[in-house]
């Protein structure tokens, strides 16, 4: 079996990180093993979640993350061979893109290219979707490139925005979609079953 040892980079609550860890633990044949969490915020919820699940967490400053000597040594000490971003809000430095070509994957809570780019993350996106009166939203799983939210798309899933939706209700629906798809798409992409494919799922109803 082709095993990927991943570092999950996260800045927030960590529900996606937790889903990926649980998926890897209960699907041993997925080829996914979570080696560590890298977090840039000492107060982030992801830290407690990871500790509870027994996954090592490294809290690093932006300067450390952007320092090739520190960052590459941290990842190689943990024998990391791929990176999953899960609500990580800093730009990925070029030296990481060079060190892990095609092996850094992100999830974004909109149907890119809509609502992508700097400042577009989490709740800000769901508020913009509701304010714009959009009838559809979704998630995008994509390769990370040097352009913000600009790497090639691996997978999208779309759901309708129900009339009367609020940013909170959209966020809940998006988290359910993320939970349903991110861990498996991540695992399959890293096994390279999906490296050149593009998949779009369109739901008629919110999950």
Interface with ligand GAR (CB under 6 A): 10, 12-16, 86-87, 107-109, 121-122, 174, 178
What does the angle CA 26 – CA 82 – CA 34 come to, to the nearest 5 degrees?
30
- Shortest Cβ 2–ligand GAR spacing (Å): 26
- Comparing CB distances to ligand GAR, the nearer of 121 and 155 is 121
Closest residue to bound ligand GAR by CB: 87
- Comparing CB distances to ligand GAR, the nearer of 18 and 188 is 18
- Comparing CB distances to ligand GAR, the nearer of 72 and 203 is 203
**Separation CA 82–CA 39 (nearest Å):** 16
Q: For residue 113, say if its preceding peptide bond is cis, omega within 30 degrees of 0.
A: yes
- Shortest Cβ 154–ligand GAR spacing (Å): 14
**Separation CA 150–CA 144 (nearest Å):** 7
**Separation CA 170–CA 178 (nearest Å):** 12
Chain-centroid distance of CA 165 in Å reads 24
Q: Which two tokens stand for residue 178?
A: 């993320």
**What 3-state DSSP class applies to 144?**
coil
- Shortest Cβ 134–ligand GAR spacing (Å): 16
CB 90 within 8 A of CB 64: no
- Shortest Cβ 76–ligand GAR spacing (Å): 26
Whether 124 is a known active-site residue: answer no
Which member of 108, 126, 142, 181 is catalytic?
A: 108
Contacts of residue 40, defined as CB under 8 A and 6 or more positions apart, other chains included, come to 11, 59, 60, 61, 62, 65, 88, 89, 90
- Comparing CB distances to ligand GAR, the nearer of 102 and 150 is 150
Point out the residues that are catalytic.
108
């Amino acid at each position: 079996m082709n095993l990927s040892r991943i570092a999950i980079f996260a800045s927030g609550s960590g529900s996606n990180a937790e889903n990926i860890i649980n998926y890897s633990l209960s699907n041993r044949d997925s080829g996914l093993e979570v080696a560590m969490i890298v977090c840039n915020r000492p107060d982030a919820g992801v830290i407690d979640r990871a500790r509870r699940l027994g996954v090592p967490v490294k809290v690093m400053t932006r300067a450390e993350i952007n320092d090739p000597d520190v960052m590459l040594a941290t990842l190689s000490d943990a024998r990391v061979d791929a990176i999953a971003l899960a609500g990580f809000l800093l730009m990925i430095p070029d030296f990481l893109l060079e060190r892990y070509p095609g092996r850094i994957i992100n999830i974004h809570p909109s149907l890119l290219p809509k609502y992508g780019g700097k400042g577009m993350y989490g709740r800000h996106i769901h508020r913009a979707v509701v304010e714009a009166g959009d009838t559809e939203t979704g998630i995008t799983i994509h390769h990370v490139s040097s352009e913000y939210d600009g790497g090639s798309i691996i997978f999208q899933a779309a759901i309708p925005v129900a009339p009367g939706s609020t940013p909170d209700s959209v966020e809940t629906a998006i988290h359910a979609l993320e939970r349903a798809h991110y861990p498996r798409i991540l695992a399959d992409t890293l096994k390279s079953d999906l490296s050149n494919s593009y998949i779009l799922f369109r739901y008629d109803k919110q999950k």
